[in-house]
Amino acid sequence: MAASSDTPMLRQYRELRAQVPDALLFYRMGDFYELFGEDAVWTAAALELTLTTRDRDTPDPLPMCGVPWHAADGYLRRLLDLGKKVAIAEQVEDPKQAKGIVRREIARVLTPGLAADGVEAREPSFLVAITGAPGAWGVAFLDASTGDLRAADLADLSALAGELARHAPREALLGRDIDCTEVRALLGEVCTTVIEDTRPDRHELSRRFGVATDALGAGLGAASTALRYAAERLRADLRNVTALRTFRVGTALGLDDATIRNLELFRPLRGTGKKGTLLGLLDRSQTAMGGRLLRDWLASPLMDVGAINERFDAVDAFTPGLRGTVVPLLGQVADLERISAKVAQGLGGPRELVALGLSLDRVATIASCLLDARLAARLPADLSPDVAADILHWLVEEPPAGLDDGNFIRSGAHPELDRLRGLATDAKGSIAGMEERLRGETDIGSLKIRHNDVFGYYIEITKAHLHKVPPAWHRKQTIANGERFITPELKEYEEAVSGADEKRIRIEGELFRALRERVGQHVPRLQAVARGVAELDVLATFAELAATHRWARPMLDDSRDIELVGSRHPVVEAARRDERFVPNDIKLGDRARLVLLFGPNMAGKSTLMRQVGLTVVMAQMGCPVPARSARIGLVDRLFVRVGASDDLARGQSTFMVEMGETANILAGGTARSLVLLDEIGRGTSTYDGLAIAWAVAEDLHDRIRARTLFATHYHELAALTESNVGARAMHVAVAESGDKITFLRVIREGPAPGSFGIQCARLAGLPPGVVARATQLLKQLEKKRPRVASTQLSLFGLGPPPEVEAPPPPPAPLADPVREAILAVDPDALTPREALEELYRLRRLAGE
């Protein structure tokens, strides 16, 4: 690319290009955004666009590709999803008025976290700024598409990890000081920019938000960093960011990344989309605002009984009759939040403003239906009818999308505009009249007056009649079957028409921009309305879901119990059509804080555990739960862990990940936590795994005292219930007849009577020959297992952990039935399973 041979346009392009070194440049030319050079080569490949060249004949032609401006959103989204930044250079003067080359400027730079257009309607688009120093982190999350800004100080890396998991930011800004591997690892693939200056701009923050700037430490710098970055990139003042919300860790139910993943709250463990997730089940909200709020509530369930009950009261107030009127109305409310955000940035076209105006009217109707004070209070008193009136006074109801041709201002709204429109219509009428007259005068019946953008108006005459054309006409163009002419009279009309039209379009544009500017002044009020609508939408959705799926309002208290009667897995149940989902009763509490859950493969252990976790999440977000009744003592942190081999999809060194995640529980769990462990320990050799599982279970029971459900195939763990008062064994039962098993899906007290692995394998379709061989092998193994059995016995005999003193042995009974029964046992004749069963029989005997 030889700069000396550059055309003025290319020189302009290069100047703009240099302003945005880290972004692709979309350069507006007429109806297209064009990309040049390396940008073009890369983008054409990524988006499968046709790569062409400019100045084909030069020795070193410049590659280029382009996308039509009206379809740019989709392409932009894809580039941003690929982690790219895109600068948009717009024409800033009318090409018709331009002397020489049209002036262009960078209108905004879109980055993965800062996309004005093309963001998923029902998802937030967070940019996170992380500042401070290890141990005193500051974070701020900014969603510029709505104006949501929240900041916090965080004391440790796990808190930072938690907030990142909760907000799922699309882009990150890192202060230079903390650009370290730990933080980078937490961010994973998120597009990250290192920022030199992360100092808080206290003056600006207090001017904007009126916040006391000593309320936050490092979080303040993060908020400033996010705002500066966004304002600079979007070339906008971000008037839609009207509040800084500070939050504290520990005020919401703690959900870490592994828990969010394993519970499939937002994404399925396998596959993409929302199918099979709790979000997919719950998000039946009518508006995009409701969809985003629901997601937010799901990511941050509450920790305050009062606040949760307030939500449930509102859900209760949404009676079927009220839902019947309000839900359809909600469906007609546009995305007030994102439209006002665009308007505040001087973006948004006539259609969006009209949608805003009509929606405000709709909200007023909704408000008039809400007689219940608990619901009415969700909407602000001021529903901005003046803003709606202003918009609907000026704009027609179905305006065109763009500003280029006008036709969006109502007639009657502006006298001068009406006059110009009249002129244009008159002129058009005159042209029709002129056509008639000229046909008469020239005796050419086929004479037509036409118009195109290049020549304006002209008279078209076919070859056959050319001899009749009056000499005073000016020939303008020869075409295949005739000629085109103009006359002074026609020229005059044309000037009147196009002059009037240009003026009309200009005035319409000015009126629109003034209107948008006025509406932009009211963004805080509009946001309050949007927030209220979103809440009503989510609450109505909860009420609707509860009715559809027979969910119940749970009772929440500060106890450490969880009592579910007739509990189901919400997602699995909803996905069932033919087979019924079998409800179960589940009880956890101080006397049953560690529940070991046994049962053969496929019995339903994992399902049961997850349904408890999901139920707690739903309850604390204010959503009715899949149970006949439920009483839940508030949970502060929820941990869901799955043993390594269930987690293949992630393709990591699974056992290490599993152990790391388990370590986090032992470090962060409390007596208020709920821990769900699904076959933890199985990713390594049997005895290592068993020993780890055992020690973890003991620590949870003794030291942490968290409510724990532990699903496992290690039958040996049942022995934990012997010496630990808060430990219980339960199993998901199957019915056995011959060598066949039927899954009952009900949970029962006590450990499972057998493991039935081979029967399960048969059910799964393992060839009969292999099943027969396995059965034979199992028999042999069980016979030959004295060594194994003794290991088991030694495990049983491990007794309490070293630092705890052993309880005194119970006084030996003299002569009793238990003693007799023990003496009657021939240990060498028993399989390990029989031995275990014998042990239980003995225990029962002893208990009688």
What residues make contact with ligand ATP under the rule CB under 6 A? 572, 581-582, 599, 601-607, 745
Phi–psi pair at 786, nearest 5 degrees? -55, -35
Residue for token pair 């290192």: 194
Nearest distance, CB of residue 737 and Mg ion, angstroms = 24
**Which amino acid is residue 576, in one-letter code?**
R
Which residue's CB is nearer to ligand ATP, number 601 or number 724? 601
Residue 662 touches which of ligand ATP, Mg ion, none (CB < 5 to 8 A by kind)? none
Cβ distance 110 to 486 under 8 Å?
no
Q: Restricting to residues 31-70, which ones interact with Mg ion according to CB under 5 A?
A: none
CA 768 – CA 756 distance, rounded (Å): 16
Which SS3 state, helix, strand or coil, does residue 355 take? helix
Which residue's CB is nearer to ligand ATP, number 601 or number 686? 601
Nearest distance, CB of residue 605 and Mg ion, angstroms = 5
Residue 626 touches which of ligand ATP, Mg ion, none (CB < 5 to 8 A by kind)? none
Residue 708 touches which of ligand ATP, Mg ion, none (CB < 5 to 8 A by kind)? none
β-bridge partners, 475: 485
Which residue's CB is nearer to Mg ion, number 143 or number 678? 678
β-bridge partners, 254: 637
Cβ distance 574 to 281 under 8 Å?
yes
Nearest distance, CB of residue 829 and ligand ATP, angstroms = 30
Nearest distance, CB of residue 678 and Mg ion, angstroms = 6
Residue 572 touches which of Mg ion, ligand ATP, none (CB < 5 to 8 A by kind)? ligand ATP
Is the sign of the CA dihedral 607, 608, 609, 610 positive or negative? positive
Nearest distance, CB of residue 760 and Mg ion, angstroms = 11
Q: DSSP alpha helices (H): ranges in 474-604?
A: 488-520, 523-549, 570-575
Nearest distance, CB of residue 665 and ligand ATP, angstroms = 20
Residue 601 touches which of ligand ATP, Mg ion, none (CB < 5 to 8 A by kind)? ligand ATP
69-74 contact pairs (CB < 8 A, 24+) = 69/28, 69/31, 69/32, 69/33, 70/31, 70/401, 70/402, 72/26, 72/33, 72/117, 73/117, 73/118, 74/118
Nearest distance, CB of residue 274 and Mg ion, angstroms = 23
Nearest distance, CB of residue 603 and Mg ion, angstroms = 8
Q: What is the CA radius of gyration of the chain?
A: 36
Is the sign of the CA dihedral 173, 177, 181, 182 positive or negative? negative
**Which amino acid is residue 94, in one-letter code?**
D
Nearest distance, CB of residue 711 and ligand ATP, angstroms = 6
Which residue's CB is nearer to ligand ATP, number 487 or number 606? 606
Phi–psi pair at 611, nearest 5 degrees? -65, -30
Cβ distance 164 to 118 under 8 Å?
no
Cβ distance 743 to 792 under 8 Å?
no
- Residue (of 681, 693, 676, 694) closest to 654 by Cα position: 681
What six digits make up the tokens of 43?
Answer: 């983008």
Closest residue to Mg ion: CB criterion: 606
Which SS3 state, helix, strand or coil, does residue 268 take? coil
β-bridge partners, 171: 127, 191
CA 746 – CA 731 distance, rounded (Å): 8
Distance from the first to the final alpha carbon of the chain:
94
Which residue's CB is nearer to ligand ATP, number 297 or number 581? 581
Cβ distance 637 to 673 under 8 Å?
yes
Residue 598 touches which of Mg ion, ligand ATP, none (CB < 5 to 8 A by kind)? none
CA 787 – CA 598 distance, rounded (Å): 24
CB atoms within 10 A of CB 306: 8
Residue 582 touches which of ligand ATP, Mg ion, none (CB < 5 to 8 A by kind)? ligand ATP
Which residue's CB is nearer to ligand ATP, number 115 or number 281? 281
CB atoms within 10 A of CB 798: 15
Residue for token pair 């463990």: 269
Number of residues that bind Mg ion (CB under 5 A): 1
CA 218 – CA 130 distance, rounded (Å): 9
Nearest distance, CB of residue 713 and ligand ATP, angstroms = 7
CA 497 – CA 491 distance, rounded (Å): 10
Closest residue to ligand ATP: CB criterion: 604
Residue 607 touches which of Mg ion, ligand ATP, none (CB < 5 to 8 A by kind)? ligand ATP
Which residue's CB is nearer to ligand ATP, number 593 or number 605? 605
Q: Restricting to residues 113-152, which ones interact with Mg ion according to CB under 5 A?
A: none
Residue 259 touches which of Mg ion, ligand ATP, none (CB < 5 to 8 A by kind)? none
Which residue's CB is nearer to Mg ion, number 314 or number 758? 758
Residue 604 touches which of Mg ion, ligand ATP, none (CB < 5 to 8 A by kind)? ligand ATP
CA angle 513, 516, 521 (to 5 degrees): 130
Nearest distance, CB of residue 606 and Mg ion, angstroms = 3
Residue 541 touches which of Mg ion, ligand ATP, none (CB < 5 to 8 A by kind)? none
Which residue's CB is nearer to ligand ATP, number 136 or number 763? 763
Residue 76 makes CB contacts below 8 A (sequence gap 6+) with 26, 86, 110, 115, 117, 118
The contact mask relative to Mg ion for 597-616 (x = CB under 5 A, - = no) is ---------x----------
Residue 581 touches which of ligand ATP, Mg ion, none (CB < 5 to 8 A by kind)? ligand ATP
HSE-up of residue 608 (Cα within 13 Å, Cβ side) = 32
Nearest distance, CB of residue 721 and ligand ATP, angstroms = 19
Which residue's CB is nearer to Mg ion, number 198 or number 606? 606
Helices (H) and strands (E) in the chain — how many of each?
Answer: 29, 27
Which residue's CB is nearer to ligand ATP, number 128 or number 586? 586
Q: Is 262 in the site for Mg ion (CB under 5 A)?
A: no
Which residue's CB is nearer to Mg ion, number 384 or number 606? 606
Which residue's CB is nearer to ligand ATP, number 132 or number 751? 751
- Residue 657 burial by Cβ neighbours in a 10 Å radius (0-12, 13-18, 19+): middle
Nearest distance, CB of residue 262 and Mg ion, angstroms = 11
Which residue's CB is nearer to ligand ATP, number 544 or number 563? 563
Which residue's CB is nearer to ligand ATP, number 525 or number 605? 605
CA 620 – CA 640 distance, rounded (Å): 16
Residue 692 touches which of Mg ion, ligand ATP, none (CB < 5 to 8 A by kind)? none
Residue 622 touches which of ligand ATP, Mg ion, none (CB < 5 to 8 A by kind)? none
- Residue (of 157, 156, 183, 158) closest to 172 by Cα position: 183
Residue 603 touches which of Mg ion, ligand ATP, none (CB < 5 to 8 A by kind)? ligand ATP
Which residue's CB is nearer to Mg ion, number 287 or number 567? 567
Which residue's CB is nearer to Mg ion, number 487 or number 606? 606
β-bridge partners, 473: none
Nearest distance, CB of residue 626 and ligand ATP, angstroms = 11
Nearest distance, CB of residue 732 and Mg ion, angstroms = 10
Residue 62 touches which of ligand ATP, Mg ion, none (CB < 5 to 8 A by kind)? none
Nearest distance, CB of residue 76 and ligand ATP, angstroms = 41
CA 635 – CA 671 distance, rounded (Å): 9
Nearest distance, CB of residue 589 and Mg ion, angstroms = 24
Binding site for Mg ion (CB under 5 A): 606
